Structure 1
Amino acid sequence: MKRTLLITFVLLFQLCFSKPITETQKLAATCKVWGFLKYYHPNVAKGNFNWDDQLFKVLPKIEEAKTDIQFSNVIEKWINSLGKVKAYKAELPNEEIDYFDKNFDLSWTQNTVLFSKSLCQKLKFIEQNRIQGKQYYVESGVEFTNEVEYDLFDDKDKNFRLLALFRFWNYVEYFFPYKYQMDQNWDLALTELLPRTINPVSEVDFYLLLKEMSAKLNDTHALFGANKLFEIFGWNSVPFEFKFIGNKAIVTGFKNDSLSAINDIKIGDVITKIQGRSIDVLIKENLKYAEGSNYPAQLNHLEWPIFSQKSNVSEIEFVRDGKIGVKEINYYEYKDLKINYENNSEKYKFIENNIGYANLAVLTPDDVSTMMEKFKNAKAIIFDIRNYPQGTNFAIAEYLNPEPKNFVKSIDADLSWPGRYIWRKEDTPCGKVNPDYFKGNVILLVNEKSISHSEFTAMTLMVAPKTTIIGSQTAGTDGRNYRFQIIKGLWTSFTTYGVFYPNKKEVQRIGIVPDIEVKPSILGIQQGKDEILDRAILFAKDGK
Structure 2
Amino acid sequence: MKEAISKEVAYFINIISNSLSLSQLLTISIYPMKKAIVTILSFLFLFSSCNYFKSMGSNDFEKSSGIEIENLSSEKVRDLKILGLTWGFLKYYHPEVASGGYNWDFELFKIMPEILDCENGVERDKVLLSWISKLGEFELEDDPQEHDESEIKIKPDLEWINNSGFSADLQSKLNDVKQSKIGYWHYYVNGNLNVANPIFRNEAKYDSMIYSDVGYRLLALFRYWNMIQYYFPYKNLIEKDWKEVMEEFIPIMVAAKSEVDYKLALVKLIGEVHDTHAQYYGPDTTLTHHFGSNRVTVKLAFVEENLMVIDYSHVGFEMSLKIGDIILSVDGKTIPEILDEKLPYNPASNYATKLRNLSGKILRSTTKSINVEIDRDGKHMKMDLPTYSMKELLNNKKSKDEDMYKKVRPDIAYINNGIIKKIELDDLWSKFKDTKGLIIDIRNYPSDFVLYKFAELLVPNKTPFTKISNVIYKEPGLFKFTRTLYVGDDNKDYYKGKVVILVNEKTQSSAEFHAMAYRTAPKALVIGSTTAGADGNVSEIYLPGGIRTLISGIGIYYPDGTETQRVGIVPDIEVKPTVEGIRAGRDEVLEKAIELIENH
- Whole-Å separation in 1 of the counterparts to 2:524 and 2:204: 50
- Contact persistence 2:455–2:488 (CA under 8 A): yes
Stretches of structure 1 lacking an aligned partner (at least 5 in a row): 1-19
The alpha-carbon distance between structure 1 residues 36 and 369, as it changes in their structure 2 partners (threshold 3 A), is same
Q: Percent identity?
A: 35
1:416 paired residue among 464, 474, 488: 474
In the alignment, what sits opposite 1:217?
273
In the alignment, what sits opposite 1:368?
425
Mapped pair 1:125 → 2:182: no
- Whole-Å separation in 2 of the counterparts to 1:247 and 1:356: 32
Q: How many residues align?
A: 519
- Whole-Å separation in 2 of the counterparts to 1:468 and 1:514: 8
Mapped pair 1:399 → 2:463: no
The amino acid that maps onto 1:479 is G
2:235 paired residue among 168, 173, 179: 179
2:140 paired residue among 64, 87, 106: 87
Bigger CA drift: 525-534 or 100-109? 100-109
- Whole-Å separation in 1 of the counterparts to 2:177 and 2:361: 44
In the alignment, what sits opposite 1:15?
none
In the alignment, what sits opposite 1:29?
82
Q: Counterparts in 2 of 1:308-387, with a 5 A limit?
A: 308-338=364-394, 340=397, 343-387=400-444
Q: How far off its partner does 1:100 sit? A: 2.6
- Contact persistence 2:312–2:398 (CA under 8 A): no
- Whole-Å separation in 1 of the counterparts to 2:443 and 2:368: 32
Q: How far off its partner does 1:330 sit? A: 1.4
In the alignment, what sits opposite 2:67?
none
- Where 1:317 maps in the other structure, the secondary structure is strand
Q: Counterparts in 2 of 1:219-298, with a 5 A limit?
A: 219-225=275-281, 226-259=284-317, 262-298=318-354
Bigger CA drift: 198-207 or 377-386? 198-207
- Where 2:316 maps in the other structure, the secondary structure is helix
Q: How far off its partner does 1:227 sit? A: 3.9
- Whole-Å separation in 2 of the counterparts to 1:392 and 1:496: 22
Q: How far off its partner does 1:206 sit? A: 2.1
- Where 2:463 maps in the other structure, the secondary structure is coil
Bigger CA drift: 385-394 or 479-488? 479-488
Give CA-to-partner distance per residue, 1:119-156, whole Å, 9 cap, x none. 11100000111412211000113111012342412210
- Contact persistence 1:219–1:293 (CA under 8 A): yes
TM-score (normalised: structure 2):
0.83
- Contact persistence 2:141–2:181 (CA under 8 A): no
The alpha-carbon distance between structure 1 residues 519 and 151, as it changes in their structure 2 partners (threshold 3 A), is closer
The amino acid that maps onto 1:331 is T
The alpha-carbon distance between structure 1 residues 495 and 92, as it changes in their structure 2 partners (threshold 3 A), is closer
Mapped pair 1:110 → 2:147: no
Q: How far off its partner does 1:340 sit? A: 3.9
Q: Counterparts in 2 of 1:88-167, with a 5 A limit?
A: 88-90=141-143, 92=145, 99-102=151-154, 104-113=156-165, 115-140=166-191, 141-167=197-223
Q: How far off its partner does 1:228 sit? A: 2.6
The amino acid that maps onto 1:525 is I
- Where 2:495 maps in the other structure, the secondary structure is coil
- Where 1:23 maps in the other structure, the secondary structure is helix
Q: How far off its partner does 1:202 sit? A: 5.8
- Where 1:78 maps in the other structure, the secondary structure is helix
- Contact persistence 2:466–2:484 (CA under 8 A): yes
The alpha-carbon distance between structure 1 residues 342 and 328, as it changes in their structure 2 partners (threshold 3 A), is closer
- Whole-Å separation in 2 of the counterparts to 1:50 and 1:239: 48
- Where 2:154 maps in the other structure, the secondary structure is coil
In the alignment, what sits opposite 2:27?
none
In the alignment, what sits opposite 2:493?
436
Stretches of structure 2 lacking an aligned partner (at least 5 in a row): 1-72, 192-196
In the alignment, what sits opposite 1:530?
587
- Where 1:301 maps in the other structure, the secondary structure is helix
In the alignment, what sits opposite 2:101?
48
TM-score (normalised: structure 1):
0.92
The alpha-carbon distance between structure 1 residues 206 and 305, as it changes in their structure 2 partners (threshold 3 A), is farther
- Whole-Å separation in 1 of the counterparts to 2:432 and 2:276: 34
Give CA-to-partner distance per residue, 1:378-415, whole Å, 9 cap, x none. 01000000000121121111111111110000011111
- Contact persistence 2:433–2:495 (CA under 8 A): yes
The alpha-carbon distance between structure 1 residues 121 and 483, as it changes in their structure 2 partners (threshold 3 A), is same
- Whole-Å separation in 2 of the counterparts to 1:295 and 1:461: 25
In the alignment, what sits opposite 2:504?
447
- Whole-Å separation in 2 of the counterparts to 1:490 and 1:313: 30
RMSD: 1.8
The alpha-carbon distance between structure 1 residues 507 and 101, as it changes in their structure 2 partners (threshold 3 A), is closer
- Whole-Å separation in 2 of the counterparts to 1:336 and 1:161: 35
Bigger CA drift: 375-384 or 246-255? 246-255
The alpha-carbon distance between structure 1 residues 66 and 99, as it changes in their structure 2 partners (threshold 3 A), is farther
